[in-house]
Structure 1
């Protein structure tokens, strides 16, 4: 059995990459890339992906089964859940890691609800991530330019008891260019002060060199989604352009799966 918690991966790897699973081929590609790199990995299912599939069950169970049958250690993580009921469902399904995102709420409510989620999930052996500071790319409270205050981060972890903290340090969700400018001094300050692993969201917009530097400064969990979606989509487009008569989805999803596996392996080898 190779399904583990995010905490178990972080205990043995300086940094762990987390890739979002939108469909079965994503999960297969991520695990194949991890096998090639010889590294543990996190399969993430977001609240948005659950909505797309009409519920968490189908895609969540698929991700869990892939992780259990895979040859590398893998955690299955619920990403950006804003609904406690969805967190409860993920825990019941067997997810080993969850992120409860109450960052859009007033601070007191964010802390209270996050603390309640953390206590409940941790009692069942599940690793819990939360967010403090607006991480760009999602609108609303997620405003580009916002940075997490070090003192606020320390107090938030103490008040909530979470296992990992996503912080705002200059990255932005859904970037299609790798041109984000990270605040490395802030990452180092946060890593020195905050007693739990730091999580970098919006890492698709971060260059290879800056991903390496972010880890060196103290980032422990690196979330990547849009970047591998771009790799997947370009491979599908190339396969369809090469053979406009193709109707079997395996003829274009297969090359896309392979392209993502190769990129996941490259990124995992890059960030050690």
Structure 2
């Protein structure tokens, strides 16, 4: 089938207290692993890229790979822009064929953030593409931007209600204790805060920085409106570890069809495990 939007998959997940896995699509091998893992579990799946990823891959290749994956997949597949930093970046992705968009104005003052997100939502709604946005600040490293976890701040539920209402977004990424990248220690997620945000916003919520979050915490978040969970760092770490291990055993191998295969197989198992965790 063709690429689909995230609207129906997130609505069903939100209504039925499970979540859709959204996986960083860094190259062809990872894309194929994500699709295979999703097919093995019979679950819809989201391929997502930051702007730096599609700039590295180059947009025509990124779109072609995602479309080919969706057309051959036995499950619904969406292509999502993660942390789009500007209106121009969002428009580039919409024109190219992305079926889901995140605009991230979380570093802007509130009024400027609302204005930017509203502008993006108006444009995306015209072609029926759902928009995700963030309020509060999630620590860690994302797309070469770094914020110390100690300087991150949580989302205010009252402001979140206004933000969602005035921007018209379809899904919302609150800051409630997760961080991008690798955790130095187990994150302390603020589930009371998440519960309050869900009650006031009543739209699908998104967990960023899920790599390294314990399975029990992932499952608990499903009770409070989390319907999309982002994974990227764990995929990159495992892919790199498997390639390094292969060359340690086979230092003279030069065939990428051989040294990428163990990495792909390992990622298939990881994707399957994450998706199963998100199914209550």
TM-score by length of 1: 0.94
Query: How do residues 112-191 of structure 1 correspond to structure 2 at under 5 angstroms?
Result: 112-138=115-141, 139-140=146-147, 144-175=151-182, 179-191=186-198
Tell me, yes or no, if structure 1 residue 81 matches structure 2 residue 84. yes
The one-character-per-residue Cα deviations of 1:116-149 (angstroms, maximum 9, x if unpaired) are 1011011101010011000111335976441100
Q: Corresponding residue for 1:253?
A: 260
Taking only aligned residues, the RMSD between alpha carbons, in angstroms, comes to 1.7
TM-superposed CA distance for 1:3, in Å, is: 2.2
Q: Corresponding residue for 2:31?
A: 27
TM-score by length of 2: 0.92
1:211 aligns with one of 206, 210, 218: 218
Shift of the 127–143 alpha-carbon distance from structure 1 to 2, 3 Å rule, reads farther
Q: Corresponding residue for 2:114?
A: 111
Q: Corresponding residue for 1:98?
A: 101
Separation (CA, whole Å) in 2 of partners of 1:194 and 1:105: 21
Q: Corresponding residue for 2:65?
A: 62
TM-superposed CA distance for 1:234, in Å, is: 1.3
Q: Corresponding residue for 1:37?
A: 41
The one-character-per-residue Cα deviations of 1:32-91 (angstroms, maximum 9, x if unpaired) are 0001111111000111212323x4332233123212221111111011111222211211
**1:171·1:205 contact (CA, 8 Å) conserved in 2?**
no
Shift of the 247–141 alpha-carbon distance from structure 1 to 2, 3 Å rule, reads closer
Q: How many residues are treated as equivalent by the alignment? A: 271
The one-character-per-residue Cα deviations of 1:205-230 (angstroms, maximum 9, x if unpaired) are 31111111111232111011001111
SS where residue 137 of structure 1 aligns? strand
Q: Corresponding residue for 2:232?
A: 225
Q: Gaps (5+ residues) in structure 1? A: none
Separation (CA, whole Å) in 2 of partners of 1:143 and 1:211: 22
**1:45·1:60 contact (CA, 8 Å) conserved in 2?**
no
